[in-house]
């Protein structure tokens, strides 16, 4: 997917950007560096509760307030189909099988009404490249391994502030209704106030 974007090199903070000489749009830099390679195993982790990091910055606290508002709304609209912060554990093939597994905690998972698809949801106060990388390079590969082809796994970014200038490695579409995210195609972004 990234191969057709021209020459790609490391941008600021480890992000991707095409070179100006390629004539193609640059991909906005990302600060999210975590990704997974080939997975040996992955599962939903029903073990002891995993603690979410404590935030101290005012901007992060505003993001958590927005996330809580979205959780409340999605839980009311989709009872029994929405799960916030469901921990996933995984083992990559380059790690020692006896080492502790890695953990991923997506913001939310939402089952389709026909139970054939699942949305992996990333909630951001502002639309950023980080959400795309978190979903496509980290959460979705793990989730796909968990469901093992029994469901279609799709991304969804929910944000309050949308910046059309943010460049992603694929085409994006702003959707009006959450159910539209269950239709495969361009990367969906849902705006919520």
Q: What is the pLDDT of residue 95?
A: 62
The residue to which tokens 């997506």 are assigned: 106
Kindly state whether residues 99 and 74 are assigned to the same domain. Answer: yes
Kindly state whether residues 21 and 97 are assigned to the same domain. Answer: no
Q: What is the pLDDT of residue 57?
A: 75
- Where the chain has pLDDT below 50, the residues are 1-24
Q: What is the pLDDT of residue 37?
A: 82
Q: Which long-range contacts (CB under 8 A, 24 or more apart) does 163-167 make?
A: 163/126, 163/127, 165/28, 166/28, 166/127, 166/128, 166/129, 167/25, 167/26, 167/27, 167/28, 167/129
Q: What is the pLDDT of residue 79?
A: 96
Q: What is the pLDDT of residue 93?
A: 79
Kindly state whether residues 79 and 117 are assigned to the same domain. Answer: yes
Rounded CA-CA distance 50/87 in Å is: 7
Kindly state whether residues 102 and 166 are assigned to the same domain. Answer: yes
Please report, for the domain that includes residue 115, its CATH number.
3.40.1350
Q: What is the pLDDT of residue 52?
A: 62
- Domain around 44: 33-48+55-191
Q: What is the pLDDT of residue 18?
A: 37
- Quote the DSSP letter at residue 148: T
Kindly state whether residues 25 and 43 are assigned to the same domain. Answer: no
Residues 6+ apart with CB under 8 A from 37: 92, 93, 94
DSSP 116-138: SEEEEEEEEEE--HHHHHIIIII
pLDDT (tens digit, 9 = 90+) per residue, 99-153?
678 889 999 999 999 999 999 999 999 999 999 999 999 999 999 999 988 999 9
The residue to which tokens 């975590």 are assigned: 34
């Amino acid at each position: 997917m990234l191969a057709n974007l021209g020459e790609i090199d490391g941008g600021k903070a480890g992000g991707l950007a095409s070179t100006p000489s390629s004539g193609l749009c640059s991909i906005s830099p990302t600060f999210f560096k975590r990704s997974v390679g080939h997975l040996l195993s992955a599962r939903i982790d029903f073990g002891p509760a995993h603690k979410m990091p404590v935030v101290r910055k005012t901007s992060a606290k505003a993001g958590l307030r927005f996330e809580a508002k979205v959780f409340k709304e999605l839980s009311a609209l989709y009872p029994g189909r929405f799960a916030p912060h469901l921990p996933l554990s995984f083992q990559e093939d380059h790690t020692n099988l006896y080492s502790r597994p890695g953990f991923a905690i997506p913001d939310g998972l939402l089952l389709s009404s026909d139970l054939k698809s699942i949305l992996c949801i990333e909630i951001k106060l502002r639309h950023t490249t980080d959400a795309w990388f978190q979903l496509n390079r980290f959460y979705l590969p793990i989730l796909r391994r968990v469901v093992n082809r029994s469901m279609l796994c799709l991304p969804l970014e929910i944000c309050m502030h949308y910046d059309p200038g943010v460049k992603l490695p694929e085409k994006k579409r702003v959707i009006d209704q959450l159910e539209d995210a269950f239709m495969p195609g361009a990367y969906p972004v849902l705006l919520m106030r």
